[in-house]
Every structure is written in C-alpha cells, then in structure tokens.
Amino acid sequence: MKKRKVSSILLSLALAASLFTGCGGAEPAAGTETTPDAETEAAETETAPDTEAAAGDSGYKTTGEAYEIHYIARSNEDGTQMQALYEIIDMYQKQVNPNFSMNIECISDQQTHNQKIRTLAASDELPDWWSGDVDSFFYELWNAGMVANMGDIFKELGIYDNFYWCALNYPSTADGEIAGMSWNAQGEYFWYNKDVFEAAGIEKTPETFDELLEICQKIQDSGMTPIGMEGQWRLLRYLAFIPWRLSGNDYIDKLAVGEAKYSDELGIQAAQFIADIGQYFQEGWTTADSSTVMEQLKDGQFGMYYSGTWELPIFSDENGELLDNIGMFQLPLTGEGDVNGFADSFSNGGAPMFISAEAAKEEEMMNFLAFFWDHYNDLCLELGYLPPGQPSNIDIATDLQKELMEDFASVTSYAKCWDVVVDVATSEVLLSETPNLTLGNLTPEEWAARLDEAAAMNIE
Amino acid sequence: MKNQKLKKRIMPWLFLAPALLVYCAVVIFPIIQSIGFSFYDYSGIGAMKFSGINNYLKIFKNSSFRIAIRNNIWLMLGGTCIQMIVGLGLAIILSNIRRFASTLRVVYFVPCIISSMAICQIFAKMFSITPEGVIPGIMKLFGMTPIAFLSDVKWALAIVIILDSYKFIGMHMIIFYTALMDIDESVVDAAIIDGCGLWKMYTKVKIPMIINIIVAELVILVNGTLKAFDVSYILTGGGPGTATELVATYMYKTAFTMTKYGQASAMAVFLAVESLLAVGIVRLVGNKLQQKY
C-alpha cells in the first residue's frame, strides 16, 4: 500500500515535470522554413566572426566590439545580394572588425517571407534588416517610426548622389522620403527564344500589344507554347501593361485610394488584355516554378518569358553576353494614346532592404554600411548583375551590362507594381482572382466586380 | 474511511491536472482570446480598435470567404465518404486475409506518416503538364488529352479532396481493422452456423457490432475535414483563384498576409462553432444509430 502511494506520488511529479519541459524558452529556432516549391527553400546562415584575423589599419571606422546584424532576406541563398553580402562580410571581418557577424535568413518565397515579417512586426520582434516593399503594411511600420530613413543615412555617409535615380527613389514613400536600399538596377523585358521565333516565321519583335498577340498566335500555330508563365506578381505585370501605357501611374494610384474602380474602362481593358494573352500561357502555369520555366525558354519549349535583368546570369554565357539563342525586347506600346515610350517601363531596384530605426542608431551598423556601399556596386558587376549605384570601375562591366546600365541611368519614370501599391488585403484578392480571369473562369466584368467589392471593404 | 473516499476522488484529478493545464493553456485560453480579438480591428501595429460585430459582418459579406465555406463543405462531404468507405473496405479485406496482412497494413499506413509537404510535392510533379508528369503521360498513352488538374477550377478541389483523404485513409483502416478483429469469434461462429453469408455477416453482424467505432470515426472525420489546411495550402495555395480555398487557409491568409487579425479571429470563431455544430449533429445521429443496433 505504501509502495503504491509512493509510486503514485512519483508518477504525478513526473507528469508535472513534463508539463514544464514542454514550456521551453522563447529562443527562435534555427530558421528552416519549408515552402512549396524548389525555389522557395529557406536557409539561415550565421557568418561567425573570424576571431583569428586581425583588423588591420583599413581606414574604416569601427568600434571593434562584437556586433551582430539579424537580416531576413527575400532572396535565394545563392542570389546576387547574398553572394555579394557574404563577400563583403568576410572582407569586413578580415579588414575592419573580426568581431562583426551577420545572422541571415533567406526566404525566397515572397508570400512566406512577408508573412514572417508581418508576424514578427506584430510581436515587436522586427529584425535589424529585412527585405520588403513600400506597401500598405510598410506604411504602418513607417508611421509608427519603426523604420530608419535611408535618405538621411545615405547623406550622412556621403553616398546619396552615387545612386542611379530609379534605384534611389524606387523604395521611397509617397512624400518622397527614401525608406529603403535598392539591391540592383533592374529593368524588365520580354526574354525570347530566337529559334522559336524563327521557326514560327517571325522576323521582328513586337512594338505594339496587337503585334504581341499576333506573334503569340503564330508561335502557337507553329506548335510551340508562346509564353512561359509562373508566379503571381508576374501575372499582375501583364494586367498593368495597358493602364501604364495609357495613363502612367495615374490609374493605379487612384485605384489604391478608391478614387478609381477596377470596372472603369481602363480596368476592363486591362482585364480583357490578360484574358486574351492568358490563352497563350503554358498548360498548368499556376503551379509552375520560375527556374523550370527559364530552362524551358532556353531549351526552346517556350517562345517568350517576361522577367527582369536579375535573370542575366541565367540567360548569359560565361563572358556575360546574352546566349546566342536568347534575345530581349522592351514592353510594347498600345499604339494609340500612349503617354510614355519604350524606355519607360517597369524599372526598380529589386525588393528593397529596410533597417529598423533601433538598429540604425548603432554606431557599428553605420560603420558597416559605409564599408558595404564602398564595395557593393563593384562586386555586383563582377557577379554579372547591374548595381544600383555607380561602380568605381566601369571597365569590368561587359558590353551588355554597360548598355543596360545606360538604359537604367536614363530612367526618369517607372511603372509602379500593382501588388505593392494596392493595400495588402485587396492585393490578396487581386492575386487570387486574376488567375481565375486568365483561365477564363471569370469575365473581365465579373473580375472587376469582385475587385471593386474587395476594394470597397478594405480601403478606409 | 472518509479520507480514503476523498483520496479516491482527488487522485484522478491530480493525474489529470498537468494535461488539463496544458489543454487549457493551448486550447481553451487561445479560444477565449480569439473570441476577444474578433471584436477588434488590429493589424499587429499600433493599438487595437474595438469594432463590435463588424468583423463578423465583413467576413460574411466577403465572397471569397463564402466560397471557402462552400469548398470546405464539399471537402467535408467528399473526404468523409472517401475515408470512411475506403478505410472500412480496406479493413474488411485485411481482416479476411492471412498472408501478407501485416505487410499490407504497413503499406497502407505509410501515407499517414509521410509529411504533407512531401506528399504534395510528389503529386504536384505527378500532375504537372509542363514538364510532363506521370499522370498526363498516362493519359496520353490512353489517347486522352492531358488535363492540368491543379490549374483547372473544375478539377482542383476534387484533387485536393482525394489527396487529403489519401493521407489519412491508413489511419482509419487501422482503427476499423482493430475494431473488426476485436469482435468475439463466438458471435461470428454462431452467425455462420445460422447460415450467414459474407454479405449478411458484415451488414447484419460485424458492422452493427462496431457501430460505436464508426460513429466515433465519423466525428473525427467531420471535425478534421472542416479544419483541413495543409494539402490545400501546399498543393494549390487555395487556387486556382479561390477554387480550393478553405476556411482554414483563408483564415491563415487573412491573419498573416492581410494582417487583419480581428477578421481572422472571427473566422476562427466561426470555424469552431461550425465544427461544434457539425459534431453535435453527427453525435445525435450516431446515438440514434447506436440505440437501434
């Protein structure tokens, strides 16, 4: 009897102890985010301080103390910015401060990344650096004073005038404050397979949207798939083409604040265009992934693919020049009533990087930023990308890079991305209903009615 | 004597206490908190603003949410039927074979232990048109035009229902199999002596004897399918369009993409009430069935 009593008590204590072991501390787990497809793998990398290297007389200021930056990047582990960033961190540790380190989480899937940042922001745990967009959620952080003013930081570091106009201003707020850092100079183009065009009897690239549709039909008649498509943001670009050409950013700016409707004439025109061109996308595009689609373009399975200059390393050879069978053409015009020209298109600096207001107060953060921007533009060129600012040595650029950088440097207006400008709640509806429209399950009028309903609910 | 009686009454509660505490902390308290949040507008930044029942009105005015409810009801009906019928069918077959029964039990159970992510990735590649997957390839072999099932609004929900069911059929099979094997052999022998054939054996003897297990399974199935999330979210993201949007996936997006925590909490409350109602109806019907048999 006594034995039973003792064992009962011991069992109760064991159960109670297991209760407390389950309620562990709040240390964040090592970041392994599992996401749907191959290109959305996330990784967390800690660049440990190289304590054996001595910080020589580098000429750069440093506190010399241990300092870690936590960065959540919307990027592949092996993307440009990551490759350049790792090199710069390594250089900084060897040349300036061996006690410096960065804890980097890469989440390439946009939706997963945004969800993480928004959840962290809600629990007051924003990282020191994070990628994002100047969207409606960003403005909540900005208005709450949680984001550093990068324009002020650039001026303090003396690098404000080194950026290309588009890269500097792309991550700016509505009242012109520079809120983030651009990673690249990015222009968007139609990449096309020259062999597919030749086989379909197409001799020149389209200059109007009507010509684009005709070319699509010719490619389809020749037995090939005209356009490779994947992703949600890319679909919204097709939606934005006509309004951009006919109204600049006027229509989307008004849509975002409820002063225009999706059922207005311009909205219906945009919807009709995407319904027309959607029939030329490949079968099953809603579940395609970009790396597969790009390989299929190179292999000649698709005729065209809309993307940006960040794909240069994929479509270039070892000398940094375009592959022989790949060409590029700019966004066509409508041919009637265009308010802008070929040179005016979707240009940006990539998903900007923001710094938390708290982290920006740290001296070593500013020291690292100064070092970073002294080296980043040149590294970008070496890695085959287009830098957001003037490199110190333009001679290392390929002819193609020089040509594209000239185009980018001359940009004085850029088309705004609809998924960024529209509030996050309506953007979610836009991203879910536009595929329905493209697949023919909704008419343009039905699509517009759904979006107007969502906008009416979400815009305050 | 009195002390002994008191101890007997208290001891079970002492043993239950840790589990009950955890249950209250991770289930009851968050439910109460969710109910509270559902009356506020909150985006995660700044203060919460009291909005009364506005969130509930908004979610029911939202056509995407109504579509999600409709899709969920289809998944509940289809998923329950598939898992119940196939699970019971497999259990009946297994209970009638001697050789390889253990091996087959393991094989049928394997999908339950593979992660949803792995299953969805496998089937996404199998259904893929470009590059061509196994299923379009087989369709071509039979002279059919391949269908992009996951991109077709007519098929996408059906595929989600089938895959969601496929993942859990093994678990239900094991439960039914255990129940069938627990039936007293003497009852079966008596039925055989009375001239019972295979069909009558199952419909008049064995299945009525495990009716309580069937009702319990029904409750689990209805509850589980109403809260389904992973297969739809991973495989199609709720798309194409809203074709496979479920209440749980839309609630997740409302909270973590749209940062409308108040509306998402209202959806969570709706889901809880919906599940309770559905389970209540199933238990009512189940009790009547159990009384009959």
Under DSSP, the state recorded for A30 is P
Cβ(A140)–Cβ(B46) below 8 Å = yes
Q: In angstroms, rounded to a whole number, what is the distance separating the alpha carbons of residues A99 and A377?
A: 24
Tell me the angle at which helices A265-278 and A232-247 cross, rounded to the nearest 10 degrees: 130
B85 touches chain A (CB under 8 A): no
How high is the pLDDT of residue A38? 37
How high is the pLDDT of residue B53? 95
Chain B CB contacts of A120 under 8 Å are none
How high is the pLDDT of residue A54? 38
CB pairs under 8 A between A and B: 130
Chain B CB contacts of A15 under 8 Å are 15, 17-19
B98 touches chain A (CB under 8 A): no
Q: How far are the Cα atoms of A359, B72, B118 from residue A147, in angstroms, in the given order?
A: 9, 40, 38
Angle subtended at Cα A31 by Cα B250 and Cα A295, rounded to the nearest 5 degrees = 75
**Residues within 8 A of B (CB atoms), A 369-408 only:** none
Angle subtended at Cα B173 by Cα B170 and Cα B174, rounded to the nearest 5 degrees = 90
- The tokens describing A93, both together, are 């540790």
CB–CB of A283 and B261 under 8 A?
no
CATH topology agreement for domains A38-185+349-391 and A187-347+419-458? yes
The mean pLDDT value for B121-129 works out to 91
For A432, which of B61, B239, B254 is closest by C-beta distance?
Answer: B239
Structurally, at CATH architecture level, domain A187-347+419-458 sits in 3-Layer(aba) Sandwich (3.40)
B7 located within any domain: no
Give me the long-range contacts of A264-268 (CB less than 8 A, separation at least 24).
Answer: A266/A242, A267/A243, A267/A448, A267/A451, A268/A444, A268/A445, A268/A448
Extents of the domains making up chain A? 38-185+349-391, 187-347+419-458
CB–CB of A287 and B11 under 8 A?
no
The gap between the terminal CA atoms of chain A, to the nearest Å, is 71
Q: What percentage of chain A's residues is helix, strand, coil (to nearest 5)?
A: 50, 15, 35
B48 located within any domain: no
CB atoms within 10 A of CB A271: 26
- The count of structural domains within chain B is 1
| pLDDT tens per residue, range A369-390 | 999 999 999 998 888 889 999 9
The mean pLDDT value for B23-47 works out to 93
Q: Which residue of A has its CA nearest to B242?
A: A432
| Mean pLDDT, chain B, integer | 92
How high is the pLDDT of residue A19? 52
CB–CB of B62 and A457 under 8 A?
yes
For A424, which of B58, B243, B257 is closest by C-beta distance?
Answer: B257
Task: Residue A382: name the closest of A280, A304, A312, A456 by CA.
Answer: A312
Q: Count Cβ atoms within 10 A of the Cβ of residue A402 and give its class: 0-12 exposed, 13-18 middle, 19 or more buried.
A: middle
pTM for the predicted model, two decimal places: 0.81
How high is the pLDDT of residue A289? 84
Q: Phi/psi of residue A72, each to 5°?
A: -105, 110
Domain membership of residue B117 as a residue range: 62-292
pLDDT beneath 70, residues of chain A: 1-4, 7-8, 11-12, 14-57, 460
SS3 string, B131-149, reads CCCHHHHHHHHCCCCCCCH
Tell me the angle at which helices A444-458 and A424-438 cross, rounded to the nearest 10 degrees: 170
B9 located within any domain: no
How high is the pLDDT of residue A47? 61
How high is the pLDDT of residue B278? 94
CB–CB of A424 and B234 under 8 A?
no
Q: How far are the Cα atoms of A36, B61, B229 from residue B248, in angstroms, in the given order?
A: 17, 17, 6
For B150, which of A114, A140, A286 is closest by C-beta distance?
Answer: A286
Q: Give the H or E element holding residue A103.
A: strand A100-107
| pLDDT tens per residue, range B270-285 | 999 999 999 999 999 9
A283 touches chain B (CB under 8 A): yes
Distance from CA of B35 to the nearest CA of A (A): 19
B272 touches chain A (CB under 8 A): no
- The tokens describing A337, both together, are 């009533």
CB atoms within 10 A of CB A365: 20
Angle subtended at Cα A316 by Cα A313 and Cα A321, rounded to the nearest 5 degrees = 125
How high is the pLDDT of residue A311? 87
| Mean pLDDT, chain A, integer | 87
CATH number at residue B128: 1.10.3720.10
B120 touches chain A (CB under 8 A): yes
The residue type at A70? H
A137 touches chain B (CB under 8 A): yes
For B44, which of A8, A122, A296 is closest by C-beta distance?
Answer: A122
| pLDDT band at B287; cut points 50, 70, 90 | confident
Answer whether residue B230 shows pLDDT above 50: yes
A280 touches chain B (CB under 8 A): no
- Which one of B256, B260, B265 makes the best mutation probe of the A interface by having the most chain A beta carbons within 10 Å? B256
B57 located within any domain: no
Task: Residue A276: name the closest of A214, A191, A208, A338 by CA.
Answer: A214
The CATH number of the structural domain formed by A38-185+349-391 is 3.40.190.10
Q: In angstroms, rounded to a whole number, what is the distance separating the alpha carbons of residues B136 and A280?
A: 19
How high is the pLDDT of residue B226? 96
